[in-house]
Amino acid sequence: MQHLSGIERARNALENGGRLPVGSLPSVVADSWQRCRDLGLDPRAAPRNSVVPFSQVNQRREQNAALRRLALAEMQLLHSQIAGSNFMIALGDADGVVLDTISDQHFADSAAGRSIIPGSLWNEDLRGTNALGLAAMAHRPVAIYGREHYFSCHGHLSCMAAPILNSRGETLGLLDASCAFEARQEHTHALVRMAAAQIENGLIYQECSESFIFAFHPRVEYLDTLSAGLLSVSPDGSIISLNRPGTTLLAGLPAAIGSHFDDLFEAGFGSAMDGLLNGGVIRIRDRAGSGVFMVCRQIGQRGADAMAKPAPALPALLRRSNAPDFVCDDPIVKRSMTDIADAVTLRMPVHITGETGTGKDLMARHAHTLSGRKGQFVPVNCGAVPENLFIAEIFGHERGAFTNARDEGSPGLARTADKGTLFFDEVADIPLAAQTSLLRFLDSMEVRSVGGQKTLKVDVQIVSATNRNLQEMVATKAFRADLYYRLNAFTIRLPALKARSDFAGVVRHLMQAMAPDTAVTDAAIARLALHSWPGNIRELKTALQRALVRRRMDYLDEDSFEDINTGEKNVDDSCDSCRPHPLSRSKCREIRSIFQMSGENISKTARVLNLSRTTVYKHVR
């Protein structure tokens, strides 16, 4: 008989309506499957794809503003720790409604990515066994791997979620990391829990700015870690809040909010304060007789000198160190990179075309790096060199070769680039008279300076770039046809930003470079993606810089880009047939809003809202 693993036996039983085999699943999963079964959910069917309307998402975001502010910063850090692994990080509110997501492009484009969007509800009774729903219900971190999900269509996913609790143990929100099952990373679960703990601590600092905050732990070297207890105390010694590790460390003692410092520790509040306010670490006994080290982390603003200290340093977490210099996940750009590598190996001239700001200069520099040439990368901005000096600038000149020539002469840029790369930027602007000399140089690789007699052979890799249509210029005789054919032996065309499939990656890359600690939400990226970006990546960079300057929070969301012209029709609008009917109007607005967010993609909208394409079409046409 074929030997089936525990999960396979359990799934067989689940999908065929049999009794679930005992011990084949973690109990949290088995209990959840049973509840889903009792609700009559069919594990082989598609779950109901429930999404709350946009206005409600905004309302919920406002209600959770403090949580969101801290959480988005942590999500950004988490994303940078696990990015590149086909992941999505989501923040849910206490009801399991997703408020924000940060994902890598690959996951965002997957079926799962399209169903975890702001507004989507992940309760167990709607979506079956899933980490977000279970963490909300169980008030503790949960990981659900692959086929442990109740619905078989979620079997390719792994999700880890941790609740974010306040000091009364109430769930304030949920942090979730979801990934493709193959990408499952054991350590991600720990990272999610740590991020949730960090948010909980952050909330204590945020909410207790008026009070004293002490960190304590039985081992002094743990005072700066997430295992330390965090206790906030009013100036008269009443306990205002206590984090989760603190509750565990003081288990068995009356550590409830409202109790007094003296009920928990043998040293009275007054004498402990004497030591703590001197800035030192003190050792005191709790009322159960265990010794703990304690240090003051914050003197509340009502305290003598309000010398609030920053939150304790966390154990240094790994950041990605080998990030590429620029983003090239778009298949066309990726292909170009491979082609460039081949071309420079063969020493063929490389010609790069693309609209302004698409990264031609960056690509030219990359060609030089790929060539492995030891010489310099020498750029020539052909549009900026005066026509009468062009030849002298490139090929050099002897002492006093012409009026205004430099006294000491000049070797010229072609010689400077020997054993390196000569990059003709804005190559369409090369003066016609100089085009002949350049063509000769490309054929012979020989340089003769103006006023000089000797020729010198050089070894340079030629790269050129333009955003103009050289072919048209050839047709109008503004550019020499033979030079054109010589330069574009090998041409790559960089796509406009709006056409790049790695748009989100470009946004995140720029943010990482400009403000590594500032999160940018998926919804913000979706809004940015609606703009046409005529200035391409350069324009995007400026828009992000502007938003960073104006931002009032530690993150950028769609509201940060209100000034961006998205060409978006008013998403509050409903279609003509729904407008007169209040009931159908709100559904219609929701459809139209998701339609906008999805880049006007009918199929995506239909999938997200679980509607037929015809229904979506009816509302958005």
Ligand X SMILES: Nc1ncnc2c1ncn2[C@@H]1O[C@H](COP(=O)(O)OP(=O)(O)OP(=O)(O)O)[C@@H](O)[C@H]1O
Burial status of residue 620 (CB atoms within 10 A of its CB: 0-12, 13-18, 19 or more): middle
What does the per-residue mask of binding to ligand X show for 189-218, with x meaning CB under 6 A?
A: ------------------------------
Three-state SS at 304: coil
Closer to ligand X by CB, 361 or 398: give it.
Answer: 361
Buried b (16+ CB within 10 A) or exposed e, 75-96: bbbbbbbbbebbbbbbbbbbeb
Residue ranges in 314-343 that form contacts with ligand X under rule CB under 6 A: 326-327
Our finding on whether 354 is near ligand X (CB under 6 A) is yes
Q: Shortest CA distance to 136 belongs to which of 148, 125, 123, 127?
A: 123
Q: How many residues bind ligand X (CB under 6 A)?
A: 17
Answer whether 66's CB lies under 8 Å from 203's CB. Answer: yes
Nearer to ligand X, 181 or 326 (CB): 326
In the bound state with ligand X, the residue whose beta carbon lies nearer, of 229 and 357, is 357
Please name the residue ranges forming H helices in 109-153.
111-115, 124-127, 131-138
CB of 582 to ligand X, least distance (A): 46
The residues in 359-378 that bind ligand X, with binding defined as CB under 6 A, are 359-362
Residue from 161, 228, 520, 537 that binds ligand X (CB under 6 A)? Answer: 537
Residue 224's CB is within 10 A of a number of other CB atoms, namely 16
Q: Which of residues 430-469 bind ligand X (CB under 6 A)?
A: 467
Question: 157-165 and 142-145: which strand pairing?
Answer: antiparallel
User: Contact region for ligand X (CB under 6 A) — 29-37, 256-264, 356-364, 577-585?
Assistant: 356-364
Q: Which is nearer to ligand X, 222 or 326 (CB)?
A: 326
448 phi-psi bin (left φ>0, alpha ψ -120 to 50, beta other):
beta
| Residue 203 C-beta: closest distance to ligand X, Å | 35
- Candidate ranges 75-83, 277-285, 349-357, 477-485; the one touching ligand X (CB under 6 A): 349-357
3-state helix, strand, coil in the chain (%, to 5): 45, 15, 40
Distance CA 58, CA 64 (A): 10
Tell me the residue number closest to ligand X, measured at CB: 359
Q: Does 380 bind ligand X (CB under 6 A)?
A: no
In terms of phi and psi (left: phi > 0; alpha: psi -120 to 50; beta: otherwise), the region of 560 is alpha
Choose one: 164-172, 291-299, 450-458, 537-545; the region binding ligand X (CB under 6 A): 537-545
Report if residue 119 touches ligand X, rule: CB under 6 A.
no
Taking every pair of Cα atoms in the chain, the longest distance, rounded to a whole number of angstroms, is 98
Among 68, 114, 541, 592, binds ligand X (CB under 6 A): 541
Q: Which of 511, 498, 487, 488 is nearest to 358 (CA)?
A: 498
Q: Closest CB to ligand X among 326 and 490?
A: 326
Q: What are phi and psi of 92, to 5 degrees?
A: -115, 155
Among candidate residues 411, 401, 410, the one with its CA nearest the CA of residue 375? 411
Q: Of the candidates 86, 129, 358, 598, which one interacts with ligand X according to CB under 6 A?
A: 358
Residues 494-523 that bind ligand X (CB under 6 A): 506, 509-510
By C-beta, is 156 or 538 nearer to ligand X?
Answer: 538
C-beta of 135: minimal distance to ligand X in Å? 36
Contact residues for ligand X (CB under 6 A)? 326-327, 354, 356-362, 467, 506, 509-510, 537-538, 541
